[in-house]
Amino acid sequence: MILVAEGYIKKYAEAILDLLPQWVEWCIERTGLTGELAERARPAAANNRWDGSDGMDLRRTE
């Protein structure tokens, strides 16, 4: 998200991020991903806007 939001003109970044939920679903279906990881990916893709105000580092791994 951060790389897209900071690396593209706003209208193009928004268009790219609008495709994210569909792309994540396609990846889940193609790979057969199930369980917790699939269920975490869906809402993360749907909530894909970041305005930079919270200083959250979204690149960290859990």
Mention every residue, 6+ apart, whose C-beta is less than 8 A from residue 53.
none
What pLDDT is stored for residue 2 in this prediction? 52
Would you say residue 48 has pLDDT above 60? yes
Residue 60 lies in a domain: no
Q: In total, how many domains does the chain have? A: 1
Would you say residue 60 has pLDDT above 50? no
Q: Contact at 8 Å (CB) between 49 and 16?
A: no
pLDDT in tens, 14-36: 787 888 899 999 999 999 999 99
Residue 61 lies in a domain: no
Residue 14 lies in a domain: yes
Would you say residue 6 has pLDDT above 70? no
What pLDDT is stored for residue 47 in this prediction? 82
Residue 58 lies in a domain: no
Residue 54 lies in a domain: no
Domain that holds residue 20: 2-46
